[in-house]
Structures are given as structure tokens and as C-alpha cells.
Structure 1
Amino acid sequence: MTTVAATAAQSSAPPIIPKGFSANQPQTIRLYPLSNYTFGTKETQPEEDPSVIARLKRLEEHYDQHGMRRTCEGVLVCHEHNHPHVLMLQIANAFFKLPGDYLKHDDDEVEGFKARLNERLAPVGSQFTGEGVNEDWEIGDTLAQWWRPNFETFMYPFLPGHVTRPKECKKLYFIQLPKKKVLSVPKNMKLLAVPLFELYDNTARYGPQLSAIPHLLSRYNFEFVDENDNVVAVTPGEKPEEGASTSIPRTKVLAGDGAVGGNGQDTGMDDFGVSDEVQ
């Protein structure tokens, strides 16, 4: 409570400290600053299907051979200006998606998911060296399950009572980023850092799955640290240290077309399309 005490000492109207309010709370999550991470690009990874219809057809073939398809995606969180940001991909200046993909039918869930994350985001060759290059993924809590009842684009955060054979289940996992991490995105994609307030209640731009992420993360408390591991803010509600930046967080293009020095700020959202729900 050092920060609260310091704030109270500077105020003529000290805050009223309520009783504890953290019963049954998950552990507090430490978020590292965006500047801790290194971003690059690697070879293009073309989409497997030229159209939504083709993707649904491939889903149907998978179901006929192996049953329900399992898809895993990660919610990777860091912070900028003491506000949580989610890392996500933008494809062809159009739709957004979280890192991850469907599993092969015989994959172990967690190990298969790590392999798909590496395909999307792990650096290749000797492009980078040093801390964070070979850091393993820490797969955390399952945050949500989305169900596809039929061979169609719509997915739901529940399984309708009349559906006994869903065609796909997509799971979203919380992934706590380590202190350092090197990420490389395929050249035909952008890696973005999107602030939670940009996602919240924004189904028109991001679709129902991505716009629900602020709700999913609301169960956690966060502590925000600087590049030297000093805690500069925590939730709920403590004031950042004096002199901390008060800039308004915005979506940033971290890698791919439009990135500036690997950490460029996007100057407009007009070309950002809605997430394709069939992804």
C-alpha cells in the first residue's frame, strides 16, 4: 500500500480505503511493457483457402474423416502506458485474428497449440539472437470456448441444446508473455498491439469473439512493470508513479507492412476490417 500512502500524504482529502475485495480472485498477472519485445518478419504464409466457401468445405472434409475440429488461439497481453494491449494478426489489411490455428487430428492439445504458435510467431534461422529467442510458450487458463454447430460461419459461446455433434470447438487461452520475447510475423500479415478499450464493445470492427476479450480478461488483476521490473501501476485503481507517461494508448503496428522501426504507430483505422468469423 506504499503508493496509496504516498498519494494520501499529498492530498488534503485522503482516500477512504475499503475493506478487502479480492475473495476467490485469480492470481495477479504481471504485464511487461511493449518495449521489452522484439518484432520481425519472416516468409509469407499464404492462406490455405481462397474463400470462405473453400474453408467451410475443408472443415466438412475434416469432420467426415476425424470428427469435430479443434482450434486453439492465444490471448497474448503486454502493456503500453499502463494499459493492457492484446497482440493480434491482421491479414490482407482486412480481418483480424488471434495467433493460433486448428490442430491436426492426432495432436496433443497443448503441444499442438505451441507448434501452431511457433509457425505463426517464432523467429526463424539466425535472424535474432539473445534473450527471448527460444523462450517457450506458457499456456495459461482457458478463457473461452466458441462452438460451430454447423458448416457455416457462425460460432457461439455456448452449445445450443439441440446440437449433439458440433463441427468445431475453438478455445481461447490466456498466454502470459515472459519478460523478453522475440516474435516474427509472416510478411503477408501485420502484428498489432490493440488496447482493450479499442476492442471493448466494438463488434462492428472486430467481431463478437475479439470484442469479448476485455470481458474475458476482467477476472484478472494486473500489475504493470517498466523495463527495469519496477512496478509502476496496479489494478484496481492505483495511480501511476509521478512522471509516468500519460499518452493515450493506440493500436500499434509492430511488424509487417506499415510497421515503423518494428514498433510503429498506426495512424488510422479506416482500412481495418471486421474479423472473419470463419477463421
Structure 2
Amino acid sequence: MSATTTTTMQSINPPVRSKDFSAKQPETIRLYPLSNYTFGTKETQPEEDPSVLARLKRLEEHYDKYGMRRTCEGILVCHEHNHPHVLMLQIANAFFKLPGDYIIHEDEEIEGFKKRLNERLAPVGSQFSGEGVNEDWEIGDTLAQWWRPNFETFMYPFLPGHVTRPKECKKLYFIQLPKKKVLSVPKNMKLLAVPLFELYDNTQRYGPQLSAIPHLLSRYNFEFVDENDNVVASTPGVSQDGRAPRTKVLAGSGAGEQDQGMADYTEEGGENGRQGAQ
């Protein structure tokens, strides 16, 4: 059937309008285009632990001194080609993680979380100037809680019934990016913009926590605006120019390039991806 015939049939048979289906919906979220944001690099931030065993040992020491470790990570969302993209860090070209980290034991949760976000993503010195440099973080809804029952790599989106003293709780917060924002990533990391369809059901590459993000965001309706604040699409978004969204390297090695997605997957990278997402 030709495109002309299809258009004619659609005009002759308009869709049946169903009743409203928007009860109990959260507020619609406005997403700004990726081109609104400025990205740079700053000094290297080496990982605190040389191995998984060292990381678990440090967790055990923290628990002995301060009790359960509190970790906060942010789901930062913008859009490219009218499709939601999540900003994500890639470390050593191997594993992926959301911006954030464990909260210092003496800090309050939200302020401690903002401090961690600034350590990872805030520009330093006079590297940038203008709108978006000193923009504060708007911490939104808690979208998920993951629990670490023991001193091991596995985390669960529920607390097992027999566990009364979890060793770590990780919260994932939705963070609505403002109209303009300047982000600066450590030189030893990459900042990626990953489309939701790349994350969805992709535990092999991103692990169970990150691949669940499309589920977490499905509660929202989105409207997509262009650089001039014009609403160009709303949920469900479709590309206006016919190009399929792809993961894009925003800062770090290979900035400006398209990530190869599953084409660059290796068994070693996949294993690290699972570990990094824990």
C-alpha cells in the first residue's frame, strides 16, 4: 500500500476518540533539548577502590562505624529527537553509573546528595560563565530504592523478609534539568546521553538497576520543547526529522561521537556493566 493511499484512508477514517485516560497522573514533565546544555571536563577523580573486594571491605568498615550506608543517585533527563535520554557516566570504557554516590555519614540526605552531584558534575573555577553555571539541583521524586542485605555485590528492589539490618540503601531520584545547565565531568569518565529504548530490557549491558529506568519513568507524561521553548511534541514523542536517537558521548574521551550501542559490547564490558550497576 502506498503512502498516498494510507494518507487518504486516515483522512476518511479518523481515529475514534476514547474517553479521558489521565486520572491520577503526576504532573507532566517538560524536557529540554540536549543542545541547551554545555558540557566540559575537569580533573580526574579516581575510583576509591581498586577492586570489588576492596569496595565491599570499605562498606563493612563504614557499617561498623556509622550503620547502614546511604547512597543517592540522580536520573537526569533531557531529550534528543523528541525521545527521552538519561545522562549517565561511563568509567574506564567499561561500566555505567548514574551521577551521585554514598552520602557522608554526618550529612543530611538532600544536601549531602547535592554535594555529591556537584563533585561529579559541577564546573570548577572560571571554566564556564553565563546562564546555567551556578544553577541549583532540583531534586524530584524518589523513583526507586535498592537494598544491599549483606556485604556482597547484589542489591534488590525490595528488602528480603529475613533481613533486619541492611548494609546499604540506594535511592534513585528524578532530577528535572532546568532550561540551561553547565555540566563538567572528570577526565577519566565519559558523560553519555542514553535513549530510553537503549536501556529498556538491556540488563546484559547496563545491569538490572539502569535497565529498569524506562519502567520508573513510565509514570510520567513528557512534553518536548525546542531551543526556543516551543512545544514540538508530547508523549508519545516521535522524531521530527526521521533520525533514530542513539547514545551520544557528551564529555570525556570521544565527545561528540555516537556510541555504538550493543555493537561495541564485549563479554568483559558486560560483566563490568553488571558490577557497576550494583
Is the TM-score greater than 0.5? yes
Instruction: Please state how far the C-alpha of 1:278 moved relative to its aligned partner.
Output: 6.8
Instruction: Please state how far the C-alpha of 1:277 moved relative to its aligned partner.
Output: 4.5
Within a 5 Å distance, the mapping from 1:121-136 to structure 2 comes to: 121-136=121-136
| Structure-2 residue corresponding to 1:204 | 204
Distance 2:177 2:277 in 1: 27
RMSD of aligned residue pairs (Cα, Å): 1.7
Within a 5 Å distance, the mapping from 1:1-279 to structure 2 comes to: 11-235=11-235, 237=236, 244-260=240-256, 264-267=257-260, 269=262, 270-271=264-265, 273=270, 274-277=273-276
Distance 1:189 1:229 in 2: 31
Match for 1:163: what amino acid?
V
Distance 2:17 2:237 in 1: 12
Match for 2:275: what amino acid?
D
Match for 1:250: what amino acid?
R
Distance 1:228 1:277 in 2: 37
Instruction: Please state how far the C-alpha of 1:267 moved relative to its aligned partner.
Output: 4.0
Partner SS for 2:11: coil
Partner SS for 1:88: strand
Alignment CA distance shift 1:166-1:256 (3 Å): same
Alpha-carbon contact 2:32-2:179 (below 8 Å) kept: yes
Alpha-carbon contact 1:153-1:278 (below 8 Å) kept: no
Distance 1:112 1:124 in 2: 19
Distance 1:128 1:233 in 2: 31
Instruction: Please state how far the C-alpha of 1:16 moved relative to its aligned partner.
Output: 1.5
Distance 1:259 1:203 in 2: 25
Instruction: Please state how far the C-alpha of 1:128 moved relative to its aligned partner.
Output: 0.6
Distance 2:48 2:111 in 1: 22
Distance 1:144 1:22 in 2: 23
Distance 2:276 2:188 in 1: 20
Q: Choose 269-278 or 214-223, whichever is displaced more.
A: 269-278
Alpha-carbon contact 1:155-1:277 (below 8 Å) kept: no
Distance 1:268 1:76 in 2: 20
Partner SS for 1:192: strand
Q: What does the per-residue CA deviation read over 1:14-62, in whole Å, with 9 as the maximum and x for residues that have no partner?
A: 2222111011100000000001000000000000000000000000000
- For structure 2, the 5+ residue unaligned runs are 1-6
- For structure 1, the 5+ residue unaligned runs are 1-6
Between the two proteins, the alignment pairs up a number of residues equal to 265
Alpha-carbon contact 1:63-1:69 (below 8 Å) kept: yes
Distance 1:278 1:253 in 2: 19
Alignment CA distance shift 1:134-1:53 (3 Å): same
Instruction: Please state how far the C-alpha of 1:254 moved relative to its aligned partner.
Output: 0.3
Alignment CA distance shift 1:157-1:37 (3 Å): same
Distance 2:141 2:261 in 1: 33
Q: What does the per-residue CA deviation read over 1:138-157, in whole Å, with 9 as the maximum and x for residues that have no partner?
A: 00000000000000000000
Match for 1:201: what amino acid?
D
Greater helix content = 2
Instruction: Please state how far the C-alpha of 1:246 moved relative to its aligned partner.
Output: 1.8
Distance 1:231 1:67 in 2: 47
TM-score (norm 2): 0.92
Distance 2:128 2:112 in 1: 24
Instruction: Please state how far the C-alpha of 1:12 moved relative to its aligned partner.
Output: 2.6
Q: What does the per-residue CA deviation read over 1:72-127, in whole Å, with 9 as the maximum and x for residues that have no partner?
A: 00000000011000000000000000000000101110000000000000000111
Distance 1:278 1:76 in 2: 16
TM-score (norm 1): 0.91
Match for 1:258: what amino acid?
G
Instruction: Please state how far the C-alpha of 1:13 moved relative to its aligned partner.
Output: 2.2
Partner SS for 1:276: helix
Alignment CA distance shift 1:15-1:140 (3 Å): same
Q: Following superposition, which runs of at least 4 residues in structure 1 exceed 6 angstroms of deviation?
A: none
